[in-house]
A and B are shown apart, each in its own frame.
Chain A
Amino acid sequence: MNVSTTRRGFLAGGAGLMIALSLPMGRARAQGAAATAPFAPNAFIRIGTDDLVTVMIKHIEMGQGPYTGLSTLVAEELDADWSQMRAEGAPADAKLYANLAFGAQGTGGSTAMANSYMQMRKAGAAARAMLVAAAAAEWGVPAEEITVKAGVVAHEASGKTSGFGALTEAAAKQAVPEDPPLKTAKDFVLIGKDLPRLDTKSKTDGTAIFTMDVYRDGMLTVLVAHPPKFGAKVKSVDDKAALAVKGVEMVRPISSGVAVYATNTYAAMKGREALVVEWDDAGAETRGTDEIYASLAQMVAEGGKTVEEQGDIAAVTNPAQVIEAEFRFPYLAHAPLEPLDAVIETKGGKAEMWYGCQFPTFDHMAVATTLGIPIEDVSINVLMAGGSFGRRAQGSSHLAIEAAEIAKAAGRDGAFKLVWTREDDLKGGYYRPITVHKLRAGISDDGKILSWENVVANQSILTGTPMAAMLKGAPDSTSFEGSSGLPYQFGARRIGWGQMESPVSVLWWRSVGHTHTAYAVEAFLDEVLEAMGKDSIAGRLELLPPEATRERGVIEKVAEISGWTGRTRDGKGYGMAYTKSFDTYVAEVVEVEDRGGKPHVTKVWCAVDCGVAVNPDVIRAQMEGGIGYALSAVLHSKITMAPGGEVEQSNFHDYPMLRISEMPEVEVAIIQSDADPTGVGEPGVPPLGPALANAWRALSGQKQHQLPFLAGVIS
């Protein structure tokens, strides 16, 4: 079949938006056999003569499930059988694969399902209509009499049936419908079912291909020596010993450090170890963590800039009691288990990349600019990623740029695999910002919160990246989201923000601002409720306005499934917290035991309202995982800098991860809803920390105002 016949106008749905899209097949060539499938009705679907339906997934699969979730949407409207569905990562192409929430291709903010919900369904419905039209023409029967069920196209009266594969050639010649009808929720066959994940098998037999598994002919592996202090630069390099290592081919300075190129990974490691680099610390962050905390504490004491205000807290002059607390949150590394990596190959003025690219549009532009070639000459194959949790979503495109610089500095065409070690990852910045919160509540004799003030101080994530333009001069809300926008009714409230500048790079970390705001707000609120003699659940419900039905729904649900009776029961502590993040409502109850003076979480109950539950099992998995990810951080994690500015942690022995013995039992209840689906990758994270803080306070009497729980206190 002529490739040009597959170019089709395509309807990109989402908020009623209609964009005509064409599908250049060449772009997807590197994506495997599916690209040559005979029926490609739009940029998202390929159907082969073997009946297999491959969905091009515009969101990176990093464990959160879009391969399965987005394929479900297509399969639903296509009326495919789940066993014939396959998924592949879509390559970088902003025109075809933009996140409709961003206007650029990228994954983040738990938007994958929300922005794809209508688009993927329409893609499936369009393909179904074309298959039906093809069958109608072939069989000489009216299209309206044709049914499609579980991958079988049938005409009952004539007894004719066909799989998709046999119809592909004819279907490809059909007009693409402008506005294919979609099912109503009651007719859903696949949406709402616990369908098995499409990526599980390859992840249990070692065949899944991640970035580090890509090997190109003649490829060199490259490690980069980064400066030990943030903001330091290379002063001088002695590469003699490095070049003497067998397998090391070259050493090149690049903007982020010194790159060592070798014929294999171990040689690159040895070569880098043998480098002698002198660094220029002018402009480097030389403060240690204690000093940074002191300066943030000073900022919250000064009150920050007002970013949200309701009523006048200054007018609340005579509360019966004032409760105050300061909370401290350390820098956190994301530590995805596959460290950062990227493969780039340059040939005749063009470049092709393979990696777990989370922001393809930004990276695409950055690589083209770095190499000085047109964007059309750069292709990015988006592979599955061994975790991200925000780490691969780089507004700065620093990893892609580093890979491009490596290719450029080589001074010749070739293939290069950039590998970061765990040490590079933990010492390499892009942390959840170190943050201090100050909270102050004025309460009345009759159990009312008259005033609520929350001042936050930290670094801005967006400042200094291409996304800073989006702020248009407004304060970076990712720094205090969740302190702002609370549903609770207080007499008066003020949210303040102090912005710290530092050369330490920061980034969104699974649930972004909510990682610290939820903890500060929900732990402090529980202390205030307790001071007023109120229960955690009843006290919160009282603070909610009548229209807060979804908030109320998850709180009541978690109370129900946990059998909530109060903050302690049978020698165990129980704590509850609620957070809305990324438009998803989550309430969690933590059950904690005292094991030798340390908290041990035995069970977590979680109620989640994320609209239509496309795949309940994926939602449960994300809640389980989010709870474990959060527990790991609140129990164990902190990145600290010694005075002078060098990071003190290097690997999992001193940045310990949650182990299986620490993982609680998790019970998840999903609220039935017809609302459009919202994200689940991040929202399970925020309530866990404060729920634990509240449970532990109830059990031990200790208020944990500084994280993590189990590391020595930083004064």
Chain B
Amino acid sequence: MTKFQVNGRDYDLDIDPDTPLLWVLRDELRLTGTKFGCGVAQCGACTVMLDGVPRRSCVTPISAVEGSEVTTIEGMEGPEITAVQAAWNEIDVPQCGWCQSGQIMSATALLQQVPSPTDDDINNAMAGNICRCATYVRIRQAIHAAAKTLEG
């Protein structure tokens, strides 16, 4: 049995301990906002918050989240995610959309730690999130815009 919290709810699941968190979220909890893109921590589409920091759920066995708090795109709250989502909408960042949950999780984590990121900060924080549609120009724009909103 693995006990953990997802989006504020307690779970106690009897599951193969090797099962990646990604597939527990999707197949068992039906939280499908977290996406599968590579399975090997190369693309970032599966990014969730684990105890408040970003984590690639495709390489996180469920046994490793015992006692932890997981937050997915569906459960995100706070000024940073609000500003990021608003900027993403305002600038129409997504194209196909598959990577965007992961992009938004990484961008939110960046802004939580660096309120006014430089282009280099953005390059470094977002380096692990592939956008195959190459919406990178707008991702960068939207992070700067969200930072501005947060400055107030």
Contacts and interface: CB of A to CB of B under 8 A. Distances in A.
Nearest to A265: B23
B40 A386 contact: no
A474 interface: no
A339 B36 contact: yes
Contacts of B27: 215, 221, 264-266
B122 to A, nearest CB: 7
A63 B96 contact: yes
Interface in A610-634: 617, 621, 624-629, 631-632
Given A265-B26, A629-B132, A337 B43 contact: yes
Interface string B47-62: 0000000000000000
A378 to B, nearest CB: 25
A337 B32 contact: no
Contacts of B92: 196-197, 200, 617, 621
Contacts of B42: 651-653
B75 to A, nearest CB: 9
Nearest to A64: B95
Interface string A357-389: 000000000000000000000000000111111
B39 A624 contact: no
Q: Give the one of A203, A246, A384, A628 with max B CB within 10 A.
A: A203
A296 to B, nearest CB: 28
A158 interface: no
B133 A661 contact: no
A193 interface: no
Contacts of A569: none
A338 B96 CA distance: 9
Contact of B138 (A206, A624, A652): A624
A617 B20 CA distance: 39
A421 B39 contact: yes
Contact of B34 (A205, A206, A389): A206
Contacts of A212: 26, 32, 35-36
A660 B94 contact: no
A200 B89 contact: yes
For B39, B45, B73, B122, the residue with the greatest tally of chain A CB atoms inside 10 Å of its CB is B39
A663 B132 contact: no
B132 A624 contact: no
A205 B33 contact: yes
Contacts of B134: 624-629, 631-632, 658, 663
Which has the most chain B C-beta neighbours within 10 Å: A208, A215, A389, A653? A208
A265 B93 CA distance: 30
Nearest to B62: A266
Contacts of B135: 621, 624-625, 628
A64 B18 CA distance: 38
Interface string B123-151: 10011011111111111100000000000
- Give the one of A63, A247, A421, A631 with max B CB within 10 A: A63
A209 interface: yes
A386 B97 contact: yes
A197 B34 CA distance: 22
A339 to B, nearest CB: 7
Contacts of A205: 33, 73-74, 85
Contacts, number: 181
B64 to A, nearest CB: 14
Contacts of B131: 337, 628, 660
A201 B96 contact: no
From B30, B34, B72, B96, name the one whose CB has the most chain A CB atoms within 10 angstroms: B96
B88 interface: yes
A267 B16 contact: yes
Contact of B23 (A197, A206, A246, A266): A266
Contact of B133 (A206, A210, A387, A422): A387
A532 interface: no
Given A652-B130, A660-B129, A663-B137, A266 B96 contact: no
Interface in A178-216: 196-197, 199-210, 212-213, 215
Contacts of A65: 95
A11 interface: no
Given A337-B45, A651-B38, A625 B33 contact: no
A202 B32 CA distance: 12
A651 B37 CA distance: 10
A657 B132 contact: yes
Contacts of A629: 132-134
A660 B127 contact: yes
Task: Give the most central of B18, B45, B98: most A CB within 10 Å.
Answer: B98
B66 to A, nearest CB: 17
A407 interface: no
Contact of B37 (A338, A389, A658, A665): A338
Contact of A335 (B45, B100, B104, B132): B132
Given A210-B98, A617-B92, A621-B92, A660 B139 contact: yes
Nearest to A659: B127
B137 to A, nearest CB: 5
Given A337-B132, A629-B132, A653-B42, A384 B23 contact: no
A541 interface: no
Contact of B30 (A215, A267, A336): A215
Nearest to B19: A266
Contacts of B126: 659-660
B97 A199 contact: yes
Interface string B97-116: 11111001000000000000
A319 B99 CA distance: 54
A63 B132 CA distance: 10
Interface string A261-274: 00011110000000
A385 B30 CA distance: 19
A573 to B, nearest CB: 21
A249 to B, nearest CB: 14
A206 B32 contact: yes
Contacts of B23: 264-266
B28 interface: yes
Given A337-B45, A338-B37, A204 B85 contact: yes
B137 A204 contact: no
A266 B20 contact: yes
A314 to B, nearest CB: 44
Contacts of A386: 35, 96-99
Given A266-B27, A628-B135, 14 more contacts: A203-B97, A204-B100, A205-B85, A207-B74, A210-B98, A215-B27, A266-B16, A336-B98, A337-B37, A339-B36, A625-B133, A629-B132, A629-B134, A659-B136
7 contacts: A200-B88, A206-B72, A336-B98, A337-B37, A339-B37, A621-B92, A660-B122
In order of increasing CB-CB distance, the 5 nearest A-B pairs are A206-B33, A628-B134, A386-B98, A203-B97, A63-B95
Interface of B: 16, 18-20, 23, 26-28, 30-40, 42-43, 45, 72-74, 85, 88-89, 92-101, 104, 122-123, 126-127, 129-140
